[in-house]
Amino acid sequence: MEKNGETRVAIVPNSMKKLLKSGFEVVVEQGAGNSANHSDQEYTDAGATIADHETVMKCEIIISIRMVDIAELSEGQILACVADPFRHPEKVQACIDNKITLLSMDMIPRRLSRAQSMDVNSSQDNLAGYKAVLLGAAHVPKGIPMMTTSAGTIRPAKVVIMGSGVAGLQAIATAKRLGAVVYASDVRKTAAEQIESVGGRFIEVEGMDDFEDESGYAKPLTPEFIQKVNDTVCGVASDADIIVTTARIFGRPAPITVPASAVTNFKSGAVVVDMNADVGGNCELTKPGEITVTDNGVIIVGTSNLPGTLANSASMLYSNNLTTFITSLVDKENGFQISEDDDILVGAPEGNDFFVAGMGGVLICKDGEIHPKQTRLGGVL
């Protein structure tokens, strides 16, 4: 069962058919799906076996949302989860020391076409972007769409989305569907067309270039340019009703995009929804897991696990991602295989258009050693 407040479950009953057909025997911990609205009986009816925690932790392959307690595992077992290895090197080291094979699903080479259906980052970020706007709408003290009544006209809410990756684009689209006027920013100039395609208005910053690395993530920016982006976007947000921050740099703390000084200039009743409260927060005043109100009446929402607030949908998407991934490792003749020829496991070969130096795929470690391609990760162990 997922712990530490996690409401999602890694495998849902609808995934059983595909897993069983691929030759797996599936053992589900008792009560694991309760928070995601899946009863033990549903799993049993779908062909799974229900067992206690100790029995589950003895299975050859463990699938979870987050890292489990490595001390409960034994040499040779395989763990597939969102390990967030750059932020938790001690847990990776524990896997190496105990000869556990670690498959970190947040390291999926997202630009490989075959990896799209396995990309847990995108599936969960989509839901997070959607829910962030709903949280903002729930806390802002005014209506979102334009309303014309006999008592007067309510102007549409102004929403600013900071960052326009997967989560940001979904946030823009959701706010637009609710009837808001939406402005959005991104350090990738190429994002302008994407923003406009889902109904947003692009906030351009003077001197902007395409700050995107080979793996599709935003590059770290210079302090000077970060300041320029902050000043420009926070200026646009000064009269906004809802501000959603989405900026996340892979393997690094969340960048501050809303400094405390900017919050003092936001209007009373404005809502800041910080989508990265779990990794330090984009807003300097965010308190992880809390909703706070500043002296000037700005509401800051620091919900730490946005996909977890939509546990049923998030579990279904995660389960689809993991089921597609796990079954892809089954060879008809040799069964389940961890192959060095699989680009999703070990990253694209050098010279390939998708090759990223120092970045392997989801295979972090095996047989007591970090995978040779994980040189970036090796630098923090």
Q: CA 201, CA 206: separation in Å to the nearest integer?
A: 16
- The pLDDT value recorded for residue 222 is 76
Q: Residue 31 sits in a domain of what CATH number?
A: 3.40.50.720
Of 116, 117, 215, 238, which is the active-site residue? 116
Indicate if 110 belongs to the active site. Answer: yes
Of 170, 217, 241, 248, which is the active-site residue? 217
Of 8, 110, 188, 248, which is the active-site residue? 110
Indicate if 119 belongs to the active site. Answer: yes
Residues 198 and 93 in one domain: no
Could you tell me if residue 1 is inside a domain? Answer: no
pLDDT, tens digit, 9 for 90 and up, residues 65-123: 999 999 999 999 999 999 999 999 999 999 999 999 999 999 998 878 899 999 999 99
Of 84, 106, 119, 241, which is the active-site residue? 119
To the question of pTM greater than 0.85 for the whole model, the response is yes
What Cα–Cα distance (Å) separates residue 334 from each residue in 61, 108, 326, 346? 16, 24, 14, 20
Of 77, 122, 124, 304, which is the active-site residue? 122
- The pLDDT value recorded for residue 235 is 96
Residues 95 and 42 in one domain: yes
Residue found by looking up tokens 């009560």 in the block? 31
Confirm if 345 and 101 have CB atoms less than 8 A apart: no
CA angle 168, 169, 174 (to 5 degrees): 95
In the chain, the number of structural domains is: 2
Residue found by looking up tokens 């001197």 in the block? 207
Residues 141 and 267 in one domain: yes
pLDDT, tens digit, 9 for 90 and up, residues 11-60: 999 999 999 999 999 999 999 999 999 999 999 999 999 999 999 999 99
Residues 267 and 373 in one domain: no
Indicate if 104 belongs to the active site. Answer: no
Rg (alpha carbons) of the chain, rounded to whole number: 22
What are the beta bridge partners of residue 202? 184
Pairing of strands 181-185, 158-162: parallel
- The pLDDT value recorded for residue 360 is 77
| Ranges under pLDDT 50 in the chain | 1
- The pLDDT value recorded for residue 350 is 62
Q: CA 25, CA 348: separation in Å to the nearest integer?
A: 31
- The pLDDT value recorded for residue 228 is 87
- The pLDDT value recorded for residue 211 is 61
Indicate if 318 belongs to the active site. Answer: no
Domain residues for 148?
125-309
Indicate if 66 belongs to the active site. Answer: no
Residues 107 and 169 in one domain: no
Residues 304 and 155 in one domain: yes
Give the closest residue to 30 by CA, choosing from 42, 20, 18.
42
- The pLDDT value recorded for residue 221 is 67
CA angle 191, 196, 199 (to 5 degrees): 135
- The pLDDT value recorded for residue 1 is 45
Residues 229 and 146 in one domain: yes
